Structure 1
Amino acid sequence: MKYWRELVAVCGLLLYSCLFVFFGVNCAVASQLEIQEIEFKPVVENIAIADTKFIEIKEDLRRYQKLIKDSRKLEGLFNLYQYQDEERGGVFMEIKPEQLNQSYIATATLESGIGESGIYSGLPLQDFLFYFQPVKNRLQFVVKNVKFRTDNNAPEMLSIKRSFSDSVLYSLEIIGVEPHNKSILVNLDELLMQDFPGLTLLLKDSLHADYQLDANKSYLSNINSFPLNVEIDSNYGFSAQEGATFLETLPDSRAISLAVHYSFSQLPEQKLKNNNYIPRLADDRVGYFITAFQDFSSQNKDDIFVRYINRWNLQPVNPELVISPPKKQIIFWIENAVPLEYRDGIREGILMWNQAFAKAGFENAIAVRQMPDNADWHPADVRYNTIRWFNSLDAGFARALTRVNPLTGEILDADIIIDAGMVRSVESEYRALIRGNSIALKEDSLDNPNYSCQENTKQRFLKTNFKTYLKTNNSLNNDSCYGADLSFQAAMGALSLSLLEDGKPSNHDTHKYIHEYLCYLVAHEVGHALGLRHNFHGSTMLTPQELNNPEITHTKGLVGSIMDYLPVNIAPQGIQQGDYFPTIIGPYDEWAITYGYKYGYKQNSPHHSINPTEEKNFLEEIAIASPEPELSYATDEDIRDINPLANVWDMSSDVLLYSQWQLDNARLMWERLDKSYPLQGDSYGNLRVLFNRIFRYYDRNAFLLVKYIGGQSFTRNHTSENTQYSFVPVSQLEQETALSKLVDYVFAEDAFNFSPQLLNQLAPSRWQHWGNYIPISRLDYPIHERIFEMQSQILRSLFAGERLSRLLDIELKTTLDNALTIPQLFNTLQSGIWSEVFIAKKEKPQSISSIRRAIQREYLDILLEMVLRKVEVPEDGRTIAWYELRQLKKAIYSTLRKSKNLDLYTLAHLEESNSRIIKALNAELQSD
């Protein structure tokens, strides 16, 4: 028995030791080998839990592997798993734990459009910073708010997070979690097969119809994942069974198919540990697009906003050299869809900017390559900057699209889209003008001589909520206006070659002209792609006499900046024609690129990397040159009626002389059109289109004179530059000259003289079919209506309340003997428009023509509206109107007393005018 007890004790001790080793059970062993009481229940539970967890992990792994089984795995920034089997759900995306709550850039581009009504291939749809955020059992797709910032460790960070939220766009179901590395699997269809890019709203705004996304017609295609980016194509089908808009480019407007290209990419600072990009502070004297945010990190700042210019990360290989190659060139690829005959012009337009980068210290900063036909990449891929070609029924514009890091302003990608119609229409019309063409040139709203694309955009602005206008209209409408107006200018240049030059141009002349036009068009858009805004003061560098001197235009430039909206440069009679469009960039362009891209190193330490604030002195040394006339700058918000030299479609430093030259050119073109057209076998419809285009050209140049009245120059100079004041009124002499020319070229009796032969040949096109509907209400030409619309618009602009207020203000801003006054404006216009009745005081009365009667009635309407307080004008303007009406009444009365030789039209016109004045003055007195 004794030995038996000892054997049991030894066995128990061994069992205890095993349990202690495997399960970590803490026990105290008695000194005399007595086994203490052990609770075995927890040990058994631990074994069960461990086993359960192992089973769960194994099961999770099996489930995860089953989800991705038989898929095509694409490894990259985000691993993608693609299935051909629809039951499995299309495409899965894997997000690793370290990728959660990290910022990435999302871009969406419309890859296939419908070719009309604002739905065009290549347009940008979305561009924002996002991150993935796990919440409970779902994964949120969140757009990051980058408008408000502070230091990450600053106390203000908590306040910013509470005050300004991010935007959670979607919440995705987590369909699997890899148990070992904790990677999350989501269905990409759940994200992108919803209306992720906002196409439904785009279609509603553009087509004014309710198109709904049809899931059965939508799918993902062409997915790729690279180390730094993911590229995906989505195809969306939309249907509108009721209320579908009739679309000329579609076989059936009830169904629309659109393709969208997505890029999800890393931020540059995530790509490289040492990106070395230094955000550059903006300066209002130099025109760059900017990235702005409010910085709460310091309470001692004068301005809470921080503004960085948008620019590329261009760094020299050797910053110690005066000019160095860049570490990485800006490469533009010409898409393989661009016609062969236009590729050289596009290449030259792009490379034109290397001239500016050389001044900034970079050799061959920009390169151009041709996209091969067998390229394995997509033009919308964020890794490639492309020149893209698209076709449309009505777009007619070119546009630069840039993708910018919203944290730093660094430009990451750029594409330029060009509607084929901008070039082909000019080329085809050129051939029609030279050779004759029995098919009429296209006539649309832009051929209406009184149509103003800029004015039309302004009217949309006045009728639309400001923020809505900026969001939905500003960029596209401005691009459309620019494209349509530039095409018009190019067409006018072609017309001038056939009407103003001696002899017909050759095919070589045609090619040279189209090439020059295309180079300027592309160079302008590349300027935007480099970060530059418009400079509508850029056209004023040369005098009118210098515009056609190649020795000047080929060395200094035709204009100070090609970022202006430039008209075709048509030489006046007696001067040899020079360049029609700029062939090199201007001094402002070089200076602006220097500000944006010159390497900002310290002289005593060329390799010292500096922050934006430390660059301020370096940048000020560049910007301080802004008062130089060649560097003058005015952009979109500066071109209202105030500054006659900050304008679109003008040229030279003396617009008074330039506009007169072009008005004379237009009159000569009308004369030669009367004598030389239509060509043998040509359509009379062509003659009508050309007549209208000359009319529109005349109208545009006449309007350039209007801005001189009450005009003031405006500069963005700073006080440290010790230059002229911000505002300098236009001199009285210039205003009087502009007013005199308006009377002579717009309101005078002989301003418009057209032969009956010409007017009776202005037949419209009779092609009536899709894409070529007849846009006119009258079959015969409404000559009175056309002339009156032009005269009325100019006259009402001259008498606008804002202009009269400025004239009144200028009297306080300058000496009275150097200011055009409201009485002078009224008196000059009244004497010119009603010259027949004022001449009648001294001479025999003359009958008044129908054109003159129409503008006289309009003049009378305007003054009566002022006197009867139907429009808002300064009180001094109203009283001068009252005074001028009394003078006009006296002159009419005097003319009526000598009315024996007047025709009935004139007699009735004068008597009715006199009666209206009397009634209005009496009504005004009774009201008082």
Structure 2
Amino acid sequence: MKKSIVFLLVPLILLSFYGVASGAGQSKNEQEKKKGKQETVSAKKSSDKPKAKPVSKYDKLFNTKEHVATKGGFMTLHKVGDKLYMEIPLKYMGREMLLGSTASESSNPMFCTNGFKTNTPWHIKFTFEKDTTVYMRSVNAALDLQVDKERGELLKQRNFIDPLLKVYKVEAFNKDRSAVVINVTSLFTGSDFSPVNQGGGQLTINASPLKEGTKLDEIKAFEDNVMVSTWYAYNVTVKRGRSTLVNNAPLSVKATRSLLLLPEKKMRPRYPDFRLGIFQTGKQCITEAEDQLRNYSLVNRWRLEPKDPELYKKGKSVEPVKPIVWYVDDAFPESWKEPIKKAVLRWNQAFEKIGFKNVMQAREFPKNDPDFDPDNLKYSCIRYIPSNTQNAMGPSWVDPTTGEIMTASVIVYNDIVKLINHWRFVQTAQVDPRVRAKKMPKDVMDESITYVVAHEIGHTLGLMHNMGASSAYPVDSLRSASFTRKYGTTPSIMDYARFNYVAQPGDKGVKLTPPDLGLYDEFAIKWLYTYFPKAKNSEEEFEILENWVDEKVGDPIYRFRKQQIYSRIDPTAIEEDLGDDPIKAGEYGIRNLKYILGHLNEWIEDDPDAMHRKALYQSIVNQYARYVTNVIYNVGGVYLTDVKDGSPEKGVEPVCREKQQASLKWVLKQLNDCDWLDNKEVTGKFGLNIASSARLQNLVVMLLLKASQNVVLSSHISENPYTLEAYFDDLYHGVWESAITNRKVTQADIIMQKGMLAFMKQLLKPPSGLAGLLGGITSEAGVPSPDEMELYGLHEMELIGSDGEYTRNEEEREILNSFGLGYGYGWQRPVNTELIDGTLANYCAIGMKLRTLLLERAMNAPDEVSKQHYQAMLFMLMQMTEGIKI
């Protein structure tokens, strides 16, 4: 214990001694001075160290190994891990842009179409407020205020502001404070702009995103646009009506979003003339000159301006400032690429006639161009989709302020070649030995692909379907070699006029395809793209253009008739027809189908499982159904022509009584004479099924019964009408002819008679007694199923009645029906004929006649089969009228 204390005292003594020695000989004053100097030296050494600069918010965001940036002339994109930032220059605040989305890659092309923008691009702008917030707004471009500036600003501020879409906090300024940084991760990983197809018609597609399957991918920036790619994972359910076809199927998609800066200097807009079929962008106008808010439209077109305006004024051919360049997908089969390029370049012949050369250009996807991306809004591409869909389409996207087309796409599905194969065979094999094979020869396929793609290119140039074009030519002219060599099958390739099914075996030198471009097509391009250097404004241009159309009035070659979307009324504006007389064209076509069917086994030999022949046979049946339905549209038909006030043409003109009556009788004759379809030598190889003639007879009789709605309207406006009474009398005698004449019933008789009573049963709904009978009309009675419609290739809208079931509300109806010079197309909506509809009375009259007739035939029929059939029909009729005293 003592030793420990001694050891502790030693260092304390030494420490004390050292402290005294170090201060020995110095006064207290001197010691303090020395201490002060030491502190000064210490402070000086400390001040010599450089001060650490404060880290900016910009650097804090991006000084990380995860940071990836891409800078273009427009803006800079930054990706940091799973976050995405936009660096927006302040000079672009308030500038208009398009934000669109395209599918780039997918695991299933049936759910997702690469190259197609499922959603219309957003028309947006960014605004910047108080150094803290950036707003993304939708541009309110639909309104045109033609009032004084002060009032216009007041109206816009109070009533037509740009609606808010997104709000972003400013994360940082760049180093010179010329741009702001915002976090846009949610915009590019969220549910906006789903790349999954939305379905259509009976099909609905519901894609549920998996949050853990969403991941940012590539970012790119260019001179006037930026791109962001994002991976998505979905569970997809597909329904047809209430039936589930696909349930929670996995789908992976790479979506590419593009943000494109719109031109600051806007294109001069052009006003439409509804007598030509041009796509439009709808607008509204408030003006002091009128006592109402006026609807009008601007046509959709590319900005086409001459490089040398002075040379253009002299009538010389010049190149455009900006040509329309198309890029052809490198995924196409090599053999398709050349005909596709020809389809693009074909339109140059129309542009050359108005003084422009090399407008349309076709290039393959560049191999070594880092700036090129087919999913970029900036590029217009023709895309290949490896799908069994038999279709192609040509959508375009515009600047909503002017109608300027900014970008377009042509989508070509693989199995368009299957459709072409079937078209060419069933429509031209009677006269063209080249197509009598399982696989079309290259020259036939090339010219057909060129036609299909050229049609879609026409859409991307702004041209709508002109379904009335094919009715301009006399049917017999389509058998003339000289006529068809000059004009093809139709004045417009924008019609659905395919190949020359009128030409007969032995018609030498007849052209079988539509023209390269029709006269209507060339006129439409002239109207749409002629440059007017002397015109001061759009109004002066329109005066010139209106006169051009006035000069063509009355010439069927330049007549435009709208595609019938909501109702089928005009028999000259339908798809898949040729010539001015559907009965004559149908007769020629049916003659050819009989010839082709008779040689089907002979011409198609390399087909051990008979599957190709079966598909061709079904195409023959479908083609026959079209010929018959083309004639049905005459019954109750009304010719609809958009006419300018004061024009000699009639805007509404019923099909004459004689043609309607002849058409009904022709169709009834076909129903009794279509057993040629049941060729056992052909159909015997296809397996178990009922006869095609039976299915077709059922479909056609329903269409005939449904035509009564059009007869009501047509007779109401006609001076010499085919009355509803006359129609039902002809229908009664045609359907019940076997009973009236007391002959043996045929298959056609049984199907037609059962069909008529089934239609009446649904229509009349008698269970509630006479009151129920009077109030029980339903628009869906007797309508064929979607499967039947699809089987015969008929348009889903063909059977719509007079109740406007496809029009959502009265406001939409009015918008759709508003048209006039300079505004819209006013799609013809169904007309409600309930107040003038005598269908009920006529069916009651038929019921009374039938009861008497069937009572007689049930006891006195020519054979047992007929007797049993009439007894069944009588029983059905008595069930319908149970409780009703007649």
TM-score range, shorter chain: 0.7 to 0.9
Structure 2 residue 478 is matched with structure 1 residue 547: yes
Structure 2 residue 299 is matched with structure 1 residue 309: yes
Match of 2:393 in 1: 399
Give per-residue Cα distances to partners, 1:817-869, cap 9 Å, x unaligned. Answer: xx3222322222222222222223xxxxx321344212112223445666744
Aligned pairs for 1:401-480 within 5 A: 401-423=395-417, 426=418
Deviation (angstroms), 1:507: 10
SS of residue matched to 1:567: coil
Give per-residue Cα distances to partners, 1:77-115, cap 9 Å, x unaligned. Answer: 4432545x63xx554321222222332222221222344
Match of 1:661 in 2: 588
Q: Which amino acid aligns with 2:651?
A: S
**Alpha-carbon distance in structure 1 between the residues aligned to 2:857 and 2:99:** 74
SS of residue matched to 1:107: strand
Match of 1:906 in 2: 866
* Deviating more after overlay: 184-193 vs 145-154: 145-154
Structure 2 residue 809 is matched with structure 1 residue 809: no
Deviation (angstroms), 1:494: 2.3
Structure 2 residue 577 is matched with structure 1 residue 582: no
The question of whether the paired residues in 2 share the 8 Å contact of 1:231 and 1:264 is answered with: yes
Aligned with 1:745 (options 657, 667, 670) = 670
Match of 1:527 in 2: 458
Structure 2 residue 472 is matched with structure 1 residue 566: no
Aligned with 1:194 (options 190, 193, 205) = 190
Match of 1:635 in 2: 562
Cα distance 1:784–1:723, how it changes in 2: closer, same or farther (>3 A)?
A: closer
Q: Sequence identity of aligned pairs in percent?
A: 21
Match of 1:484 in 2: none
Q: Which amino acid aligns with 2:106?
A: G
Deviation (angstroms), 1:311: 0.5
Deviation (angstroms), 1:806: 1.7
Deviation (angstroms), 1:398: 1.4
Match of 1:6 in 2: none
Deviation (angstroms), 1:553: 3.0
The question of whether the paired residues in 1 share the 8 Å contact of 2:677 and 2:692 is answered with: no
Match of 1:791 in 2: 700
Aligned with 1:337 (options 325, 328, 331) = 331
Deviation (angstroms), 1:289: 1.1
SS of residue matched to 1:336: coil
**Alpha-carbon distance in structure 2 between the residues aligned to 1:147 and 1:895:** 67
Deviation (angstroms), 1:508: 11
Match of 1:264 in 2: 259
**Alpha-carbon distance in structure 2 between the residues aligned to 1:75 and 1:918:** 81
The question of whether the paired residues in 2 share the 8 Å contact of 1:78 and 1:93 is answered with: no
SS of residue matched to 1:296: strand
Aligned residue-pair number: 754
Match of 1:455 in 2: none
Structure 2 residue 525 is matched with structure 1 residue 616: no
Cα distance 1:797–1:572, how it changes in 2: closer, same or farther (>3 A)?
A: farther
Aligned with 1:517 (options 448, 455, 468) = 448
Cα distance 1:323–1:704, how it changes in 2: closer, same or farther (>3 A)?
A: farther
**Alpha-carbon distance in structure 1 between the residues aligned to 2:438 and 2:838:** 60
Match of 2:746 in 1: 849
The question of whether the paired residues in 2 share the 8 Å contact of 1:401 and 1:415 is answered with: yes
**Alpha-carbon distance in structure 2 between the residues aligned to 1:287 and 1:302:** 27
Deviation (angstroms), 1:785: 5.2
Q: Which amino acid aligns with 1:668?
A: Y
SS of residue matched to 1:319: helix
Deviation (angstroms), 1:345: 1.0
**Alpha-carbon distance in structure 2 between the residues aligned to 1:756 and 1:311:** 54
Structure 2 residue 524 is matched with structure 1 residue 592: yes
SS of residue matched to 1:344: helix
Deviation (angstroms), 1:201: 9.6
Give per-residue Cα distances to partners, 1:23-76, cap 9 Å, x unaligned. Answer: xxxxxxxxxxxxxxxxxxxxxxxxxxxxxxxx99x736x442343447555332
The question of whether the paired residues in 2 share the 8 Å contact of 1:291 and 1:309 is answered with: yes
- Cα-Cα RMSD: 3.5
Match of 2:652 in 1: 727
Deviation (angstroms), 1:206: 7.3
**Alpha-carbon distance in structure 2 between the residues aligned to 1:892 and 1:610:** 76
**Alpha-carbon distance in structure 2 between the residues aligned to 1:687 and 1:740:** 32
Aligned with 1:388 (options 348, 361, 383) = 383
The question of whether the paired residues in 2 share the 8 Å contact of 1:111 and 1:121 is answered with: yes
Cα distance 1:785–1:355, how it changes in 2: closer, same or farther (>3 A)?
A: same
| Structure 2 residue runs without a partner (length 5+) | 1-50, 765-772, 779-833
TM-score, normalised to structure 2, is 0.78
Aligned pairs for 1:623-772 within 5 A: 623-624=549-550, 625-637=552-564, 640-673=567-600, 676=602, 679=605, 682-720=608-646, 722-746=647-671, 748=672, 751-752=675-676, 754-763=678-687
TM-score, normalised to structure 1, is 0.74
**Alpha-carbon distance in structure 1 between the residues aligned to 2:255 and 2:674:** 57
SS of residue matched to 1:375: coil
Deviation (angstroms), 1:875: 5.4
Aligned with 1:113 (options 98, 106, 112) = 106
SS of residue matched to 1:155: helix
**Alpha-carbon distance in structure 2 between the residues aligned to 1:696 and 1:506:** 20
Match of 1:450 in 2: none
**Alpha-carbon distance in structure 2 between the residues aligned to 1:307 and 1:875:** 36
Aligned pairs for 1:72-471 within 5 A: 73-82=69-78, 86=81, 90-124=83-117, 125-135=119-129, 137-150=132-145, 153-178=149-174, 180-199=176-195, 208-209=205-206, 211-215=208-212, 217-221=214-218, 223-238=219-234, 255-269=250-264, 277-298=267-288, 300=290, 304-316=294-306, 317=308, 318-325=311-318, 326-376=320-370, 377-392=372-387, 394-423=388-417, 426=418
Match of 1:871 in 2: 777
| Structure 1 residue runs without a partner (length 5+) | 1-54, 427-486, 603-608, 764-778, 841-845
Deviation (angstroms), 1:261: 1.9
Give per-residue Cα distances to partners, 1:750-776, cap 9 Å, x unaligned. Answer: 65563555544321xxxxxxxxxxxxx
Give per-residue Cα distances to partners, 1:461-501, cap 9 Å, x unaligned. Answer: xxxxxxxxxxxxxxxxxxxxxxxxxx2x6513224565665
Give per-residue Cα distances to partners, 1:193-235, cap 9 Å, x unaligned. Answer: 22332458959997655622425641131x2222222233222
The question of whether the paired residues in 2 share the 8 Å contact of 1:156 and 1:296 is answered with: no
Deviation (angstroms), 1:329: 1.9
The question of whether the paired residues in 1 share the 8 Å contact of 2:203 and 2:238 is answered with: no
Q: Which amino acid aligns with 2:741?
A: I
Match of 1:832 in 2: 734
Q: Which amino acid aligns with 2:215?
A: S
Aligned pairs for 1:61-80 within 5 A: 62-69=56-63, 73-80=69-76
**Alpha-carbon distance in structure 2 between the residues aligned to 1:523 and 1:502:** 25
The question of whether the paired residues in 1 share the 8 Å contact of 2:564 and 2:573 is answered with: no
The question of whether the paired residues in 1 share the 8 Å contact of 2:426 and 2:623 is answered with: no
The question of whether the paired residues in 2 share the 8 Å contact of 1:490 and 1:517 is answered with: no
**Alpha-carbon distance in structure 1 between the residues aligned to 2:77 and 2:652:** 63
Deviation (angstroms), 1:808: 3.1
The question of whether the paired residues in 2 share the 8 Å contact of 1:111 and 1:261 is answered with: yes
Deviation (angstroms), 1:362: 2.1
SS of residue matched to 1:526: helix
The question of whether the paired residues in 1 share the 8 Å contact of 2:279 and 2:299 is answered with: yes
**Alpha-carbon distance in structure 2 between the residues aligned to 1:520 and 1:502:** 20
SS of residue matched to 1:120: coil
